Structure 1
Amino acid sequence: MNTAHEKNTSARVHLSSDATSSLEFRRQEICEKLRENRQALALQLVGSDRHDQFPRSAAMRFISNHSTREILHKAANAALGLQTFRALRWGLGLVRFIGRGFTRK
């Protein structure tokens, strides 16, 4: 009785190792196809001259560009300047409003 069980178990192990090697081979094929597709997309998006440069993301390349940083910096300063101007104008209006309350007519 043990011999039949041992044969059945060894057949499962053999089948399992064949399935494992087949799955591993299929996984390697899929990884290779993905790598080729990524390279093809990179060539289409970036071109061959900047293929392996950092950063890979188009958005990060845009942000890390020196002229883009200057534009963003100027825009941020303008926005902060506008906010500061509005706050000062509001504060001056408040001071005038309070000052009018204390003046005699």
Structure 2
Amino acid sequence: MAAQQHSAAEENKRHKHEGPKKHIIAFIFSILLTIIAFAMVAAGEVNTTFIYIMLVVMALIQVFIQMGFWMHMKDRGHVFPIVGILGGVFVVFTIVIMASYWAWW
């Protein structure tokens, strides 16, 4: 009986439900990043290089928010999906860089 109670406590600890609070905060933050990006582009008076850099930075922040809160990559036990995603990012960047070099020469 003690073993069943112990395993039930571990099961509850492992599958603890976070609730919607963090998801709502992440959603609001994602919406704010999107609004800021649209406003920067719509303004048109800002340096285009600065806009490109800021759009890439905000996109990267958006990716980490999406992966951390919606895809739950911040939780334990997601090593293989993270390695797969990083491997895919490495392959895509390699392809883009090699295609750029190929087009230049």
The answer to whether the superposition gives a TM-score over 0.5 is: no
Normalising by structure 1, we get a TM-score of 0.32
Which protein is richer in helix relative to its size?
A: 1
Q: Larger relative contact order (C-alpha < 8 A, sep ≥ 6)?
A: 2
Normalising by structure 2, we get a TM-score of 0.32
Return the index of the structure with the highest Cα Rg.
1
